[in-house]
Structure 1
Amino acid sequence: MASFVKRVGKKVIAYPEDSVPVVSTSTYFKSRVEDPKQSVINYFSNLFPILGWITRYNAGWLTGDLIAGLTVGIVVVPQGMSYAQLATLPPQYGLYTSFVGLLTYCFFATSKDVSIGPVAVMSLTTAQIIAEVDSKFHGKWQAPEIATTLAFCSGFIVLAIGLLRLGWLVELIPAPAVSGFMTGSAINIATSQLPGLMGISGVNSRAAVYKVIINTLKGLPRTKLDAAWGLTGLVALYSIRMTCTQLQRRYPRSSRILFFIMVARNAVVILVLTIAAYLYCRHRKTASGYPIKILQKVPRGFQNVGPVAIDSELVKAFASQLPIATIILLLEHVAIAKSFGRVNNYKINPNQELIAIGVANTIGSVFHAYPATGSFSRSALQSKSGVRTPASGIAAAVVVIVALYGLTPAFFWIPTAGLSAVIIHAVADLVASPAQVYTYWRVSPLEFFIWLAAVIVTVFSTIEYGIYTSISASLALLLLRVAHPRGYFLGKLTLTNPQNGGESREVFLPLRPDGVINPAVKVEPPAPGILIYRFEESYLYPNCSLINSTIVDYVQGNMRRGIDVGAIKVQDRPWNDPGPTAGGAQAAQVANLAKPKLRAIIFDFSAVSHLDTTAAQALIDTRNQVERWVDAPVEFHFASILSPWIQRALIASGFGIGSSSEIPSEIAPVVGTYDVTYLSRGRESVSESTPLLTEETPFFHFDVVAALRAARSNQEQQPSSDETELMKQGEV
């Protein structure tokens, strides 16, 4: 049975848990554990959010969803084939992936805007994994088999994370880290498409960015006719976009029509380039092929649909790359979903979103799809198109089906340089704007450097290392902030309101304003011999030692020492505290007596949400060190405790219920040395009236004002004053 303890002589009296006047374990959990049967029902019903809105579906929603779905479908067809090319897969695999992602997401989605399918970052990562496996095993597995197995494994892991409700792990990665690797990845992807855009052969497009740029510049003399299609397509895409944007500002009444013209630019440009490629290449085929690179035959419909055969040797082959693929899947998707949720005023469920992409990828492996996640560009397009529900994905999936079964003959003449132009145009929007980067600098310079490190590492190395760098740096910064929290010693300031009859009130501010408080405002100490310390973080094992040192060092530097070390013989002094030299002993004692004598320390726990065993022991150590310095009992008061578990922990450590003689030296010894006796706790008489809190804990207070009032009251009852002690020392 758990208990809190009280030292009486050499014995420690342990009070049973039931007598703790704050909270007991059984009561706490009984009040929070729901009906198990209902919890199971809620868990499974929440797996299908579609059940919450499908019964209210109406014609108004249908119109918005059809427009948005058809719009996204027109975009996803050329993008899907482009991203499949980026993943070094045949173009039809991009369409397979698009269809499954769009169709399955609507059943599990908590975001109406997100569009699941092939994306640039995941496509490039898939290409890198395929290349690594192929280089080690020399063609033992085909690229589509590797990509499909990767989709199944990574999707299954993400699905498990969602089902286990571990989506909160995504929250450990801050927005600048995500933006950093997305920006670096966009630069990496755009650069990798330059050789294909220009028709330059012999360049390793999966190398580091600077190498690709250098090798592309060296290969400019080898530029082929493909550049005519690639550069023309890229210029056309940007021209249509810029022209429509300008016309929207000039003719706002026509903005809707101009918007859909701008949306259709990918399809229109690919269509025009395909017609041009057909007209130029149809009569120019030679033994070596066509004069420019084209897609050529794209199989019609779904090929070899069925359960995927998982090869354990293949899984082992890319096992080291599986974490990075999983991180990209969940991180990019949840970041996009949260972003559009903020913009459009709705809340997403990260766990459910992970389930959605997990299901999409595991089912996608049946259709031989490769890993898919949320797309930023298509999600933004879907949002701007007026989407109303996740059902828009069904309309977009229909467009993909029509393309797979009806348009594949036309795909034969699509120039690959045109698809490279589509990729470059799409990923350019992922690059963070200068204004956004400057905001990171203004809000948190350390996070700006995390963003910068992610970009630099991604550009000069790989996306994998860029992601690991951003995540590692973010977690290091988090641990640094937890282990080195800010805290303040507070002073008092009296504010008077002349408009309300001169009514005054006390406020407590840091003694060192550090530029936050007006420097003209003079903050005074709360009272002689009383310290107030405000925590700014939870009091836990990573930071408790630092806070202990901060408090003890402040006491030793600003409060009177109770023992005159100079009067002790040198051979009797402890090795770690030699004291003043013989010549400076008197001056040191005079300076010491000029300091106030510490009577009480008040801790403001208003920002503390957790307190663990190690921190409780550190608090006991602080009390021991402070009282050894003062050579007298010191009262410890606690204000603004918001959690009953913190009160419980403090009581179990001996605080809040009496003087320091009732506080144990150790609360969790490695080897027990105490003679423990269990007793029942009776009520103790207390001198302070605190109606908002229980009278059994007279050193817990509602706020700092009440704590200071109690400390002052106890100080006034001390039998001797500082002046009397100074006179005894012969200094007054």
Structure 2
Amino acid sequence: MGHSTVDELGMELDIKSTSSSHHHSESIPYMHKVVVPPKQNPLKEFTATVKETFFADDPLRHFKDQPRSRKIVLGLQTIFPILEWGREYNLKKFKGDLIAGLTIASLCIPQDIGYAKLANLAPQYGLYTSFVPPLIYAFMGSSRDIAIGPVAVVSLLLGTLLQNEINPKDDDVRYRRLAVTATFFAGITQVTLGVFRLGFLIDFLSHASIVGFMAGAAVTIALQQLKGLLGIKKFTKKTDVVSVMRSVWSTVHEWNGRSIIIGMSFLAFLLFAKYIGKKNKKFFWVPAIAPLISVIISTFFVYVTHANKHGVQIVNDIPQGINPSSVKEIFFSSEYLIKGFRIGVVAGMIALTEAIAIGRTFASMKDYQLDGNKEMVALGTMNIVGSMTSCYVATGSFSRSAVNYMAGCNTAVSNIVMSFIVLLTLEFMTKLFKYTPNAILASIIISAVVGLIDTEAILLIWKIDKFDFVACMGAFFGVTFASVEIGLLVAVSISFAKILVQVIRPQTAILGQLPRTTVYRNIQQYPDATKVPGILIVRVDSAIYFSNSNYIKERILRWLTNEEEQLKKDSLPRIQYLVVEMSPVTNIDTSGIHAFEELYRSLQKRNIELVLANPGQVVIDKLHASSFASLIGEDKIFLTVADAVLTCAPKMQEP
């Protein structure tokens, strides 16, 4: 077989395509080359890798070659995007934002009161959280459609984690202080991820895990509302379905008929309103204003009939006035500092995941780019400020964002409008909610969380990837039958397990030649692909690292052993060449090189030659750096599988 030549720069490795000897040189087609990349400065290579990982969008590109004054303006616009899009703001855009802001305000006010109860906080804290954080986000956020405020899942998660540390009924002051401490550290976590551009960490929660977690949380939240819906006074602190149902059935004698009638009738009304809005997008405002209408009617009904004197539980007085300062309430010392930090990190990550997912969804629908790192900084800042103004963890709400989008919002000004309406409510209308029955808040929350159960997504996950479905169901059952934090732990664990399984046990395949072509494909996927006599072609579908190198070596040897046994059984010629197709191998480390050296020695004992096809830039560079290319022979590295086969086949025919 002809041998390869390396040019004077040592940059290119010549690869023979066909020919078994120099006597057939006249029939050799064009000679291809596997190019060896130039040696790079290790520091530059490391810097390039870090830049691609953390700064792929090159955030400083706009600052290059700009005067200092312009750099200051661009810097302010980076921190406050409103300074950029605000220059083009006009009355037409404001009309859309005004309608959208009024619409989501009518939805958020009753929801906020209910969500605060989920977090075991007084109703006003839900309203506080829809006043300050949306204002901060409007100036710093990059999403045009996301609506900010408390949400059901984060409220439940925060309430569950907090009450594990402090019983809100025994010490509501310390409980509230721990809540604002957790909110402060949730904001710190989010800002840190944004500043250091670590947003990729939230991607470790797979889509399937999030779908399962949200569905499980929705079921848990709905079951928690049975307390208000049925008028039960004593209810379990646990959130799992078994404990909740046991608590429900053990208190049948406490059920209040009036509460049940109020809750169930308005729940039916709210679900019917959602059905109308889903059936005809023009009536999106119907489910948006239905909660407020329900609150007004039910509150009037309770006030007129004095139902609160007959066992119907009501909200009672909500303090009037805007957010009081809570800076001094944050635990910066004592044992609760660490507890607040731990709870805040978990709540902050979940809030961030939900907000980024919502923001990206609506950004893709309107075809604009969402800067994930800016979003993290904006969300974190609003929660830090919120923790100092009596708010708890706020994030993007999917239901309110959907209404905001359908109402025709154009910019984040809709959040400012919503915030202004909440301000008016806090200043002048809190007394009107005194007789609001808890049953109506329960029905509002149940109707809101129904949308978190995405059955279509679950069925699609089942069809596409069974492992993803296991992750989805693991998160779902973890939340419903254990607790919110257990469900979250299961979701993260299964997501990591999937990554590990795919890395540790990558796919490999035996390739065969498609009829009348020089294309080689997986023989299981293409049954008409035929094996080449005397040559076993194996493809490795993964980077080769210390975690999988030994498995890949053993898997290739098992392919080889099985093939040899079958050939011997059929009295066919033995394998003389093993061709490893390496185009999917994006990288290889020292363990991978070592595994290939062991594979090479094993093949030598069997009198089989090792041949490589199409190694990529990083791989070929490392093969040369480790002298593995010299070990197997540089004439054993080919540009394509077809080149390798055409070169090896004539060699087998030689005496």
- The answer, yes or no, to whether TM exceeds 0.5 is yes
Matched residue SS, 1:537? coil
- Range 159-168 or range 96-105, more displaced: 96-105
Matched residue SS, 1:134? coil
2:241 matched to 1:219? no
Q: Contact between 1:620 and 1:653, CA under 8 Å: does it hold in 2? A: no
2:241 matched to 1:202? no
2:460 matched to 1:439? yes
The structure 1 residue matched to 2:437, chosen from 415, 419, 434, is: 415
* d(CA) in 2 for partners of 1:318, 1:146: 6
Q: Contact between 1:308 and 1:365, CA under 8 Å: does it hold in 2? A: no
Q: Contact between 1:559 and 1:595, CA under 8 Å: does it hold in 2? A: no
Q: Contact between 1:540 and 1:614, CA under 8 Å: does it hold in 2? A: yes
Residues 342 and 243 of structure 1: CA distance in aligned 2, closer, same or farther (over 3 Å)? closer
Deviation at 1:327, TM superposition (A): 3.0
* d(CA) in 1 for partners of 2:472, 2:393: 26
The structure 2 residue matched to 1:357, chosen from 376, 379, 392, is: 379
* d(CA) in 1 for partners of 2:590, 2:102: 59
* d(CA) in 1 for partners of 2:150, 2:192: 21
Residues 58 and 228 of structure 1: CA distance in aligned 2, closer, same or farther (over 3 Å)? same
The structure 2 residue matched to 1:297, chosen from 317, 323, 328, is: 317
Q: Contact between 2:593 and 2:628, CA under 8 Å: does it hold in 1? A: no
Partner of 1:613: 590
The structure 1 residue matched to 2:540, chosen from 525, 535, 538, is: 535
* d(CA) in 2 for partners of 1:700, 1:61: 62
- Range 593-602 or range 621-630, more displaced: 593-602
* d(CA) in 1 for partners of 2:586, 2:369: 25
Residues 18 and 93 of structure 1: CA distance in aligned 2, closer, same or farther (over 3 Å)? farther
Deviation at 1:352, TM superposition (A): 2.5
* d(CA) in 2 for partners of 1:278, 1:137: 27
Residues 595 and 265 of structure 1: CA distance in aligned 2, closer, same or farther (over 3 Å)? same
Residues 413 and 653 of structure 1: CA distance in aligned 2, closer, same or farther (over 3 Å)? same
Q: Contact between 2:508 and 2:539, CA under 8 Å: does it hold in 1? A: yes
* d(CA) in 2 for partners of 1:100, 1:325: 19
* d(CA) in 2 for partners of 1:330, 1:402: 28
Deviation at 1:135, TM superposition (A): 4.3
RMSD of aligned residue pairs (Cα, Å): 3.3
Q: Contact between 1:101 and 1:116, CA under 8 Å: does it hold in 2? A: yes
Q: Contact between 1:600 and 1:637, CA under 8 Å: does it hold in 2? A: no
Q: Contact between 2:220 and 2:239, CA under 8 Å: does it hold in 1? A: no
Q: Contact between 2:101 and 2:414, CA under 8 Å: does it hold in 1? A: yes
TM-score (norm 1): 0.76
2:47 matched to 1:26? no
Indicate the percent of aligned positions where both proteins have the same amino acid: 27
Partner of 1:623: 600
Residues 484 and 46 of structure 1: CA distance in aligned 2, closer, same or farther (over 3 Å)? farther
Deviation at 1:151, TM superposition (A): 0.3
- Range 151-160 or range 486-495, more displaced: 486-495
2:306 matched to 1:331? no
Partner of 2:424: 402
Which amino acid in 2 is paired with 1:274?
Answer: T
* d(CA) in 1 for partners of 2:168, 2:296: 39
* d(CA) in 2 for partners of 1:652, 1:211: 62
- Range 216-225 or range 363-372, more displaced: 216-225
Structure 1: give runs of 5+ residues left out of the alignment.
1-14, 249-254, 496-504, 561-587, 663-696, 722-732
Deviation at 1:533, TM superposition (A): 1.7
Deviation at 1:295, TM superposition (A): 2.0
Residues 296 and 592 of structure 1: CA distance in aligned 2, closer, same or farther (over 3 Å)? closer
Partner of 2:194: 162
Deviation at 1:73, TM superposition (A): 1.3
Residues 125 and 306 of structure 1: CA distance in aligned 2, closer, same or farther (over 3 Å)? closer
Matched residue SS, 1:325? helix
Deviation at 1:206, TM superposition (A): 3.7
The structure 2 residue matched to 1:653, chosen from 623, 626, 637, is: 626
Q: Contact between 1:195 and 1:205, CA under 8 Å: does it hold in 2? A: no
Residues 646 and 445 of structure 1: CA distance in aligned 2, closer, same or farther (over 3 Å)? same
Matched residue SS, 2:545? coil
* d(CA) in 1 for partners of 2:269, 2:278: 14
Give matches, 1:562-581, under 5 Å: none
Q: Deviations over 1:184-203 (max 9, x none)?
A: 10100110011111111222
Deviation at 1:403, TM superposition (A): 1.1
Deviation at 1:462, TM superposition (A): 0.6
2:271 matched to 1:238? yes
Give matches, 1:44-443, under 5 Å: 46-135=78-167, 139=171, 141-204=173-236, 206-224=238-256, 225-243=258-276, 248=280, 256=282, 258-281=283-306, 291-305=311-325, 307-311=327-331, 312-313=333-334, 314-433=336-455, 435-443=456-464
Give matches, 1:528-607, under 5 Å: 528-559=533-564, 591=568, 596=573, 598-607=575-584
Deviation at 1:142, TM superposition (A): 2.9
Matched residue SS, 1:533? strand
- Range 66-75 or range 197-206, more displaced: 197-206
Which amino acid in 1 is paired with 2:321?
Answer: G
Deviation at 1:542, TM superposition (A): 1.7
* d(CA) in 1 for partners of 2:59, 2:557: 52
TM-score (norm 2): 0.85
Q: Report the structure, 1 or 2, having the larger helix content.
A: 2
Partner of 1:636: 611
Give matches, 1:436-515, under 5 Å: 436-495=457-516, 505-511=517-523, 513=524
Partner of 2:5: none
Deviation at 1:27, TM superposition (A): 8.4
Matched residue SS, 2:409? coil
Partner of 2:32: none
Deviation at 1:38, TM superposition (A): 4.4
The structure 2 residue matched to 1:703, chosen from 614, 618, 640, is: 640
Which amino acid in 2 is paired with 1:506?
Answer: T
Residues 651 and 594 of structure 1: CA distance in aligned 2, closer, same or farther (over 3 Å)? farther
Which amino acid in 1 is paired with 2:626?
Answer: S
Which amino acid in 2 is paired with 1:468?
Answer: L
Deviation at 1:245, TM superposition (A): 5.4
Aligned length: 606
Deviation at 1:310, TM superposition (A): 3.1
Deviation at 1:21, TM superposition (A): 4.5
* d(CA) in 2 for partners of 1:647, 1:389: 50
